A and B are shown apart, each in its own frame.
Chain A
Amino acid sequence: MNFINDLLKIIGDFIAGIIQSILGFSPFLADLVTMGLAAVILCTFAALSFMGLTYVERKVVARIQDRVGPNQAGPFGLLQPIADGIKMFTKEDTTPATADRWVYNLAPLVIAIFALTTYAVLPFAPGVVGTNLNVGVFYIIAIGSGSIVAIIMAGWGSNNKYALLGAFRTVAQLVGYEVPMLLNVLPVVMLTGSMSLIDIVNRQTTLDGNPGIPFIVFFPLSALIFLISGIAETARSPFDLLEAESEIVAGFHVEYSGMKFALFFLGEYVNALAVAFVFSTLFLGGYAGPILPPYVWLLLKAAAVFFVFMWLRGTLPRIRVDQMHNMNWKFFVPVSILHLVVVMALMKLFVTSPAAAQANGGILVTPIVQAAILFTASALVLIGSLAIAARRARIMRLQEEALVAQRRAENIAAVSA
């Protein structure tokens, strides 16, 4: 049982041991080769999952929309990603004569690099992690905003009006949705007392006297807003305003084709999968789970989250620009701040460790009770804010209806007079 649970770690240690014995004369070189191999494995994992996901997503969205999806290349269309790959490699690639060449050609590389580098801190199983940074959460958000730079480079470098419009929308959208994302990671970091993803996962297990409750139970509001802003951050439907076909053709990548386009596509999918992994790690307990091996648990959770992404893509229409901004700045940000204040006060008021209770005061409660209190508070803030938003929307709708009725009455009066 232990062998299967620690399979990835055992293989990793085995390979590291071989490298140590070959390059034992130079610890520096051995370290470098080990790290390089780990990096290659992570990049390959991300690139392969991108190939798989394009197929799965097309199939799932097709099913949701009552279509069949790819079914020509191989059994059930399983070879579709390979056919796509061959096409991408052999497709002629044009650079617009007026483009800014350096910026134009570097943009796809930059987006792919930043997307792949996110995987450096994801813990797949105990001891199986690229590197356990003590600023893990911060690192993910910082690297995640690297794709904004790449998209601006693409939009600006193409010297195309649609591309530039798409890039401008990106600045406003991706930059805006980073704020609720940051604000909703904070409660998790506060409860854990660390930004390391491994510490965050351990806090959700039964290790060290923790209750073994995933953070989605502690902060349902944070989980919900983090998930939605994650979708907006990766610019997936319904937030794919920066490539809205109906308005600005394909947005920032309208001038790209062939391998460069494929790299943009890769960046998008790898980022979306990274958000699914991060959400599972932060709010669903990461690799922690009974019976099955840890890496299977993480993959299952990430797959479930990614299925929600595909589900939303298959069912929701694209939202308007003003709706997107209003939702972020007038709903997510104020509600997140309010939630943060409430949660901070409650976490200081009801503490679980006797030492903290003695040093700083506060009421000593068991972890389960603390979880119950935080859940109630978070859910109340969520329900209350939704109720207020619904009320405001109703008032606005009634006003608009009254205006329409008044205009109609005026028109009738004008016609009859």
Chain B
Amino acid sequence: MRTDFAFVGVMLVTAALLMGVALVAAALLRPKKPNKAKLETYECGMETVGDTWVQFRVQYYILALVFVLFDIEAILLFPIAVAFNSLTFFAVANAILFIVVLLIALLYAWRKGALDWE
């Protein structure tokens, strides 16, 4: 069990090393002649106006909230799925009830216009 996850760690480190080597090699090989015009932010030849890091559409936030709802649902459903074969009818009925409540939540969000994109 411990060594199972150790491999994931080794894999992360190996991937980081290999990709890091590629980046460093490229940094050593490539020419480096920066000037002011090259370092400007790209915007189809125009100079950029105003700050980039500004407020964003609230719609993204609402969709992210709906996503969190379903992500947590998934976390709760996976243990049920793994234990499914040994569950009783009653337990499965409970799980289905739980899913249906979330379906109702989705329909409510839909009705409220949280899923509309204009």
For A109, give the chain B residue with the smallest CB separation: B19
- Among B10, B53, B71, find the residue whose CB has the most chain A CB atoms closer than 10 A: B10
Q: How large is the interface on B (under 10, 10 to 19, 20 to 34, 35 or more residues)?
A: 35 or more
B10 with A36: CB separation less than 8 A: yes
Cβ-defined partner of B11 (8 Å) among A42, A260, A340, A356 = A42
**In the complex, which residues of chain B have a beta carbon less than 8 angstroms from the beta carbon of A119?**
11
**In the complex, which residues of chain A have a beta carbon less than 8 angstroms from the beta carbon of B52?**
159-161, 164
**In the complex, which residues of chain B have a beta carbon less than 8 angstroms from the beta carbon of A361?**
88-89
User: When each residue 249-286 of chain A gets 1 if its CB lies under 8 Å from chain B and 0 otherwise, what string results?
Assistant: 10000110011101100000000000000000000000
At the interface, is chain A mostly helix, strand, loop or mixed?
helix
At the interface, is chain B mostly helix, strand, loop or mixed?
helix
**In the complex, which residues of chain A have a beta carbon less than 8 angstroms from the beta carbon of B30?**
89-93, 258-259
Per the 8 Å Cβ criterion, residues 26-74 of B in contact with A are 26-27, 29-34, 36, 38-44, 48, 52-53, 56-57, 59-60, 63-64, 66-67, 70-71, 74
A89 with B38: CB separation less than 8 A: no
Q: How far is the CB of B5 from chain A (nearest CB, A)?
A: 7
B117 with A325: CB separation less than 8 A: yes
Per the 8 Å Cβ criterion, residues 91-115 of B in contact with A are 92, 95-96, 99-100, 102-103, 106-107, 110, 115
Q: How far is the CB of B82 from chain A (nearest CB, A)?
A: 6
Cβ-defined partner of B82 (8 Å) among A42, A43, A195, A254 = A195
Q: How large is the interface on A (under 10, 10 to 19, 20 to 34, 35 or more residues)?
A: 35 or more
A312 at the interface (CB under 8 A from B): no
A95 to B35, CA, bound (A): 11
B39 with A97: CB separation less than 8 A: yes
**In the complex, which residues of chain A have a beta carbon less than 8 angstroms from the beta carbon of B19?**
108-109, 112-113, 116, 263
A242 at the interface (CB under 8 A from B): no
A92 with B33: CB separation less than 8 A: yes
A199 to B85, CA, bound (A): 14
**In the complex, which residues of chain A have a beta carbon less than 8 angstroms from the beta carbon of B99?**
337, 340-341, 344
A190 with B100: CB separation less than 8 A: no
A307 at the interface (CB under 8 A from B): no
For B115, give the chain A residue with the smallest CB separation: A329
B85 with A193: CB separation less than 8 A: yes
Cβ-defined partner of B88 (8 Å) among A139, A338, A360 = A360
A171 to B67, CA, bound (A): 10
For B18, give the chain A residue with the smallest CB separation: A43
**In the complex, which residues of chain A have a beta carbon less than 8 angstroms from the beta carbon of B39?**
94-97
A182 at the interface (CB under 8 A from B): yes
A322 at the interface (CB under 8 A from B): yes
Q: A39-B7, A92-B30, A159-B53 are in contact. Are A194 and B82 (CB under 8 A)?
A: yes
A97 with B8: CB separation less than 8 A: no
A96 with B41: CB separation less than 8 A: yes
Q: A132-B4, A259-B22, A260-B23 are in contact. Are A321 and B117 (CB under 8 A)?
A: yes
A156 at the interface (CB under 8 A from B): yes
B4 with A39: CB separation less than 8 A: no
Extra 16 A-B pairs, beta carbons < 8 Å, given A89-B29, A262-B22, A329-B115: A31-B3, A89-B25, A90-B31, A92-B30, A92-B31, A93-B27, A138-B78, A160-B41, A175-B67, A325-B63, A334-B106, A337-B99, A338-B103, A341-B103, A344-B99, A360-B89
Instruction: Show 18 residue pairs from A and B whose CB-CB distance is below 8 angstroms, ordered by the A residue.
Output: A35-B7, A36-B14, A43-B15, A90-B26, A92-B30, A97-B36, A113-B12, A116-B15, A117-B8, A133-B8, A160-B42, A171-B60, A176-B63, A183-B74, A259-B22, A259-B26, A334-B107, A360-B86
* Interface residue ranges, B against A (CB under 8 Å): 1, 3-8, 10-16, 18-20, 22-23, 25-27, 29-34, 36, 38-44, 48, 52-53, 56-57, 59-60, 63-64, 66-67, 70-71, 74, 77-78, 81-89, 92, 95-96, 99-100, 102-103, 106-107, 110, 115, 117-118
Which 6 pairs show the lowest CB-CB distances between chains A and B?
Answer: A259-B26, A131-B7, A39-B14, A116-B15, A182-B74, A97-B39
